Amino acid sequence: MESGTRSKGFIRDCNIPHRGVGEASRRRRGCVSFFNPSFFRLFKGFRDVLGFFTIIPVRFGDFEGAADHAYWLPALGALIAGIASVFAALSFYLLPPSLTGIIVLLVSLLITGFNNIDGLADFADGMMAHGDLERKRSAMKDTGIGISGLVSCIFVIGIAASVLMEISILGFSPLIKAIFVSEIGAKYAMLLISYVGRPAFEGLGSAFLERVKGPQIVIGSIIAIILLLPAGPVALTALIVIPTVFTIMVLADRNFGGISGDVIGASGELSRTAILLGVIALFYNLQRV
């Protein structure tokens, strides 16, 4: 085989730009735009977000790449929702409705490695700690879980599971819409608070916040809107993330002096539950009309 040519026909000669082969020449050789460096950067960006925020095994995912391409977070939410929807379908047709919400939430939490719910626990522990900023920060950084964090997680998960159970009684289509809108909205909330918040202290969270800029929130908003459109009017409940995020940000500023990685994770969990409450309120009010 001639040097510079690979055995797989659809990629032959696409790897030789260093030999002076121009773009037009590569197109004549049958190279497709899939090999455009811009495409690979976008793909790597999503891969970094996927690798950093979930337990899904991907190669070469890194923190810097995830922060620089955080606008992919709504798409990550859609992916998680898609996986959770498969289990929701099995549960909906094979199991009682009372189990549907628990299964859907368990899948979502498992995919993220329980990191966000852990952030909620730490956020609650820090909020409930007595003392000054440093004492509250210390409580939030503590690797153990306190009673405040435990109770908060039970309530947030319990409410979300109960709402999903009620929605599943209304039908399969409302359930799937609720899953997608809540997951996309939850991940968008994490992007939004990363942009509007200020770092509470030096750490992984502060490094992430410093890399999230205006263009990312614009692109992320566009991605979120496109992904939410199929949900129809239900998509409007995703707007709940705006007051939710700003409430969390105010509480974080007062108690910790700013945002941390735990606060970002907590915003995702709290926003999901807030959206689900909005969805069930919408469905029940529509039934009354």
153 CB contacts (<8 Å, ≥6 apart)?
A: 117, 120, 121, 124
Contact assessment for residue 252 and residue 265, using Cβ atoms and an 8 Å cutoff:
no
Say whether 4 sits in a helix, a strand or coil: coil
Q: What is the pTM of this model?
A: 0.84
Residue 81 has pLDDT above 60, yes or no: yes
pLDDT at 41: 63
Span 244-256, mean pLDDT? 95
Q: What are phi and psi of 161, to 5 degrees?
A: -65, -40
pLDDT over threshold 80, residue 251: yes
Determine how many CB atoms are found less than 10 A away from the CB of residue 185: 30
DSSP bridge pairs for 199:
259
Q: Which pLDDT belongs to residue 289? A: 61
pLDDT at 18 over 90: no
Mean local confidence (pLDDT), 141-164: 92
- CA dist 33 and 25 (Å) reads 13
pLDDT of residue 23: 44
Residue 188 is predicted with a pLDDT of: 98
What's the rounded Cα separation, in Å, for the pair 178 and 155? 19
Which has more pLDDT, 18 or 213?
A: 213
Distance between CA atoms of 81 and 66, rounded to whole angstroms?
Answer: 20
